[in-house]
A and B are shown apart, each in its own frame.
Chain A
Amino acid sequence: MQPDGNYGMIIKSSDQVPHATLLKRFPIPRNFGVTPESRIGRGTTWPVSGSATRVKTFVIYRYDPDSSDNPRLDTFEVDLNDCGPMVLDALIWIKNKVDSTLTFRRSCREGICGSCAMNIDGTNWLACTRFISDLATPATIYPLANLRTIKDLVSDLTHLFAQYAAIEPWLKSKTAEPERERLQSAEERNRIDGYYECILCFCCTSGCPSHWWNGDRFFGPAVLLQAWRWLTDSRDETKEERLDNLEDPFRLYRCHTILNCTRTCPKGLNPGKAIAEIKKKMIERRS
């Protein structure tokens, strides 16, 4: 457990694990408001052998598209002496030693590819950069919130990537291409710091209540952060079209500065601030 100081009441960076919240979840029924196919049922328990000394219990969301069953919660006991320190190590241990049908995305195991984004103990993070020792008992692992589940912890990100494509995330210029590289001062290059590092894991978008209720039309923090990345890049010459494309009561203005995004970003980025910068540009261009 990392020492938090202030009893965890003041969060200084997003990698501080949210231990100190008053409630672990809103006090509503577990299947509140869900459609029949999304109702979660009880699943199986997979106990570990008696010789394990350090054991951690994981409750994991499971869904098998090849059966006609609803999603369920399976309980796994993991031998921590046999497994690496991160949540992804535990998932791989379960897949190797206990239930090989457990399905999840993973690649780099170092927090840069964004594949293993999931909801761990109630907040979204990357499984490969979350320590098992920081988890509650039992630990709960769900897929990213409010997304269609393909299988187990693998979610359908198609719509999120489509929203990303809709902001045209590439350099657009009107003047002729330069003979050599497009010049940019050091100060201009610094303006994209904090925005170009996004790994598109969608932890932020999946944790935004406004995107939960209006995700079909609201672009969400990840896409809007990238929109700002291109708006503030001095080499791009289509600010007017980009701002026109964003000025919409739903695409941009469903953001009510809830700030779950900044709290949950596993790379420490600040989508809330990026969105505020876009809104400021909206005002500046008409005053």
Chain B
Amino acid sequence: MMPSSKTTRSRPLSPNVQIYRPQLTSVLSILNRITGVLLSASAVVLVVWLVAAARGPQIYVPVQAAIASWIGRIVLFGATFAFFLHLCGGIRHLVWDTVNGFELRSIYISGWAVVAASVVLTVAAWIASASMGG
């Protein structure tokens, strides 16, 4: 294992993320993490929004207007999708913690179910919100 005297440099590391094929397993997992971090940022926004509500209409109305602006709506739409992805992905994780659903077929079916459910729930939430006048 000792290198010969003329090569004291380190052995090269074989490529990992640069060449490994993205599969449903790894992609959904990293998406769960990315949505989790995004939702952490959303949690901060939630507190800001609650403080604005507590401070009275002078502070609250501009904050609400910012959220209702077109850029606020785009961000909110993204946040809703992130929320439903993380929620469905999280439930999938909780099921795994009971040592169920580990056969490859179940992993793939539950994975696609998470993607489909997230899309459906996001669209349904926004349609419901629009019908309420929001």
B-contacting residues of A (Cβ < 8 Å)?
9-14, 18, 21-26, 28-35, 37-38, 40, 61, 63, 65-66, 68, 70-71, 119, 121-123, 140, 142-150, 155-156, 158, 207, 209, 212, 256-260, 262-263, 270, 272-273, 276-277, 279-280
Contacts of B102 in A (CB 8 A): 262, 270, 272-273, 276
How many angstroms between the C-alpha atoms of A256 and B31 in the bound complex?
A: 12
By Cβ-Cβ distance, the 7 closest A-B pairs, closest first, are: A122-B21, A273-B102, A148-B11, A146-B16, A38-B12, A145-B16, A259-B25
Q: Does B21 contact A121, Cβ atoms closer than 8 Å?
A: yes
B20 contact from A32, A63, A145, Cβ within 8 A: A145
Interface residue stretch chosen among B49-57, B77-85, B105-113, B121-129? B105-113
Interface SS of chain B: helix, strand, loop or mixed? loop
Taking the complex as formed, is B14 at the interface, i.e. its CB lies under 8 A from any CB of chain A?
Answer: yes
Contacts of B97 in A (CB 8 A): 276, 279-280
How many angstroms between the C-alpha atoms of A207 and B29 in the bound complex?
A: 14
A11-B104, A276-B102 as given contacts; A32 in contact with B96, CB under 8 Å? no
* In the complex, per-residue mask of B1-41: 1 if CB is within 8 Å of any chain A CB, else 0: 10110010111111111111111111001100100000000
Q: Does A123 contact B20, Cβ atoms closer than 8 Å?
A: yes
B11 contact from A21, A22, A65, A277, Cβ within 8 A: A65
How many angstroms between the C-alpha atoms of A38 and B17 in the bound complex?
A: 14
How many chain B residues touch A (CB < 8 A): the figure is 38
How many angstroms between the C-alpha atoms of A258 and B105 in the bound complex?
A: 15
Contacts of B26 in A (CB 8 A): 209, 258-260
Contacts of A38 in B (CB 8 A): 12-15
List the B residue with the shortest CB-CB distance to A268: B104
